Chains A and B, each alone.
Chain A
Amino acid sequence: MRVTKGAQIVAGTALLALAVAACGGGGATTGNPASGGAGDTPVRMELGEPQNLLVPSNTTESEGAEVLAAVFEPLVNYDENKQVVLAAAESIESTDNKVYTIKLKPYTWQDGTPVEAQNYVDAWNYAANQDNAQGAGYFFGRVEGYADLNPGEGKQVTTKEMKGLKAVDNSTLQVTLTAPFSQFKTMLGYTAFYPLPKSAFGADGKVTQEYGEKPIGQGLFKLDKPYKKGTDQAIDLSVYDKFPAKKPTGWTKLQFKLYNSSETAYNDLQADNVDIHDSLPASAISSAKTALGDRYQDQPDAGVGYIGFPLKYSDEYKDVKVREAISMAIDRKTIAETVFTGTRSPADDFINPAIDGYRQGACQACQYNPTKAKEQYAAAKGPAKLELGYNADGGHKEWIEAAANNLRANLGVEVTVKPFEKFANILDDLDAKKYKGMFRMGWAIDYPSAENYLTPIFSTGAIKTGSNYAGYSNKEFDDTVAKGDQAATPEEGLKFYQQADDILIKDLPYIPVYFYRNNSGYSTKVKNVKINLLNQVEWADVEKA
């Protein structure tokens, strides 16, 4: 029995230790706030975990951008007619679309100091410098001097500034581009173009970890406390008193609640535990329409889904008649309405309806026409076997299978679908010229201009540095886009972009399959929720119900 006693003590102690450890953590890690003063409960919005710390130049995904959009005021915004309107900028002028003079409105940082033109210069130089490895650095690729900050792998960066950036005085910023670009104004609303205060930088000239956890902006909301990424389940913000533009009426506190599953967030929305959910899951759409009624909203989202061809090294799809036939054999309407339960709409142009420049029905070959498809495919002697690749991690299996079924039934060919682990694996195989099949591809815009559906995906220059995975190259297309870039006004530029769009429709380097839609829902506690072109909530308009 001697041994038994010892064992009892040891086992008992171990269990006790586990129990104590468990209790110790009770509420300490939740990061869940006790709400503010009585009567001022926050407006709560669903959010996924931001990918990185909250630094504008390193935020290229939607969740971090949503938080930063609340903390910062961009230079320009977009109105309901998809047009650029000035926000933190007093005026943006250029005579040649190459040198832009930006005058700033008098804003202050949330620590009380005034925002100066130099803050923009510092932030943009930091973002563009390759040594800082900022994800959004490429946005500055059109600014003169970008190349000096990006000499390439293994090479020393010899300067810290782009030649094309100059703070003329405290409230005037001058930007010189390497070539005229009529859409530059449109770019300025994006996260990458936010300024940074002097205090953001540490002694080594890098943005500090503390700043990334509690960014100080010049926007409507300021963070109440540092956001501990990976630990906190909520980000709490309050209205910044000295914010000079429109503030929300009737409420001052905002809370982002972090969810891992949008289904869970939808259940919380139904129970009024969260007020705004801007990415309702496909599974909830049919029930949301009845359960939420007016509080369900459905609007175009600027993303596009395509099927691409490896044109640069495979001859199988070289004949445009083959690509047209494949395009006409796909029943986009059924895919959008049945497979995606209405969270997509059938694509009929390379430019998305959310953006100025879209023309309904522009792409003739995007209309479902199985008879013509079959004839044309046979006449053009299309390949007897087709392969369709997709990345298995993004919910693409269902629609790829549906498209494959369309091709089998309508073209009478053998179709295999090939899952890749991630999209990056498809890219690797395309770069290595290993993969010979078709592949899925998606595009979410960087800035709301028709040009953004053209240059980064289909220009010759984008084969090496951009997202031109098809390897499509057409001089006429490149030239037409360049004319649009150099046009005197954005409106005139748009005409050329539409001409370039026509060339794509004729050549079909990719076939557009669907446009994304934004499906959002609101609780009974808020009203007048509007979501802008960048998929961000217009907070100043939101009211408590």
Chain B
Amino acid sequence: MGRYVIRRLIQAIPVLLGATLFIFAIVFALPGDPIAALAGEKRQDPNIVMIMRDQYHLNDPLLLQYWYYISGIFLRGDFGKTFAGVPITQLMAGKFQVTLNLALVALVMEAVIGVLLGLWAALRRGQAIDTMILAATLLLISVPPLVTGFVLQLWLGVWLKQAVGTEIFPIAGISAGLRSYLLPGFVLAGTSIAYLTRLTRTSLVETLRSDYIRTATAKGLSRRRVIGRHGLRNALIPLVTFLGADLGSLMGGAVITETIFNIPGIGLQIYQGVYLREQPIVVGIVTILVLVYIVANLVVDLLYAVLDPRIRYE
């Protein structure tokens, strides 16, 4: 078990190196001069362009640039600086926290709402409530987060405040603590809630048809125990896989939500990094996202063993 975990972590090293080099090369391949682009539509003084290109090693070949970057991280713990001279570690430190908060709020909402709705639909399969839940999830899937975001912001942020007189859901920023994350968390989790509801429903319906459920019922176990202990637990495996993989995409894919609700997280930062062609920002964030994916996958694999004793890791 311990050995299994260590082996998985060692396997992560080449994945990390490969991913960083890959991202570095992609950003490198984008057309145009990032320094000249800083001046917008005015022509940047050519002297300044040259001096800044030197300063950021932009005249060197790709592999040498990558070496400067990666050796900086491993030898000096230095992720480099942005074109504006801000250390990237400083940029990332606060932002990862914020995005992690947002992603976890979304993940909890997703898990709780998704599983409960799915359970409800599965137990009332074919009845009106089942149809209603399925229709609602269809709506959630088909409306893009850009729309849900602005609509909920206007309804629950602006109009509700104007109607009630006090702020319940903050419109922008994160100054109200957990409360600030509720709306954006829901918007971010939206489509995943819908998928998870459908997944839970299908998985549970499938499980409830199996022989051991019939056996359990025949043994005279209570309905609660049959569904909870024998049905749901077995139905959870695909859900855990989905949730684990989703944590990564929630963290990396929050650009729109973070923009709408003015949340200073990494989604937005990574977008700006790509836009300004600042490799150190993009690669720094992606490296940590890759780590999150690796750890989340590991946790998912270990959770399988918790849910199903037949699965073992030697």
Contact = CB atoms under 8 A, between A and B. Distances in A.
Contacts of B90: 228, 230-231
B262 A7 contact: no
Interface string B175-215: 10100000000000000000000000000000000000000
Contacts of A30: 173-175
A233 B264 contact: yes
Nearest to B255: A260
Interface in B23-60: 30-33, 36-48, 50-52, 55
Contact of B47 (A153, A259, A428): A153
A154 interface: yes
Contacts of A380: none
Nearest to A55: B85
Given A268-B172, A428-B33, A230 B86 contact: yes
Given A29-B97, A267-B157, A153 B46 contact: yes
A19 B105 CA distance: 10
Given A25-B97, A25-B100, A233-B174, A260 B259 contact: yes
Given A263-B150, A271-B162, A441-B41, A233 B31 contact: no
Interface residues on A, range: 35 or more
Contacts of B40: 61, 423
B302 A7 contact: yes
Interface stretch (B120-128, B136-144, B224-232, B306-314): B306-314
Given A6-B2, A10-B302, A427-B43, A264 B100 contact: no
Contact of B43 (A21, A260, A467): A467
Interface string B72-109: 00000000001011100011011101101100100000
B52 A264 contact: no
A30 B264 CA distance: 8
Given A21-B100, A231-B90, A267 B172 contact: yes
Interface in B263-280: 264, 268-269, 275
B293 to A, nearest CB: 13
B153 interface: yes
A536 interface: no
A393 B277 CA distance: 14
Contacts of B98: 25, 29
B41 A264 contact: no
Contacts of A442: 41
Contacts of A273: 167, 171-172
A15 interface: yes
Nearest to A259: B262
Contacts of A61: 40
A257 B100 contact: no
